[in-house]
Amino acid sequence: DTEVTQTPKHLVMGMTNKKSLKCEQHMGHRAMYWYKQKAKKPPELMFVYSYEKLSINESVPSRFSPECPNSSLLNLHLHALQPEDSALYLCASSQDPGIHNTGELFFGEGSRLTVL
């Protein structure tokens, strides 16, 4: 199994809603990532989990709250989002976040979020 699975594929939410994006991988990878991608732009790193601990938070607003329940799962909890938060949210994983990491990221297909 070389897949990163993301659900839901599409999500529409109001600014007062609370929702969650989910990501799952069964490759035994120990690093998991959340990226945000706006249309026609490259992915922008949001969070990195290394061995189930948050290791990088790229100054992401607190209305985005990541969670890593175990080594296979990564969630992104959403609350009080703004319309400008509408984007494709990509989850990725890599084998090892250490210095000898090849850097190869395995991406999911993304969750397309629309905030009304």
Partner 1 sequence: GESVGLHLPTLSVQEGDNSIINCAYSNSASDYFIWYKQESGKGPQFIIDIRSNMDKRQGQRVTVLLNKTVKHLSLQIAATQPGDSAVYFCADLEENAGNMLTFGGGTRLMVKP
**Is 4 a residue that touches partner 1 (CB under 8 A)?**
yes
**Is 57 a residue that touches partner 1 (CB under 8 A)?**
no
Task: Compute the Cα dihedral for 16, 8, 87, 65 and give only its sign.
Answer: positive
Which residue, 2 or 16, is less far from partner 1 as judged by CB? 2
Among 45, 60, 73, 80, binds partner 1 (CB under 8 A): 45
Span interacting with partner 1, options 12-20, 41-49, 65-73, 78-86, rule CB under 8 A: 41-49
Kindly state the smallest distance separating residue 30's Cβ from partner 1, in Å. 13
**CB neighbour class for 90 (10 Å; exposed up to 12, middle 13-18, buried from 19):** buried
Q: In terms of Cα–Cα distance, which of 4, 23, 5, 8 is closest to 73?
A: 23
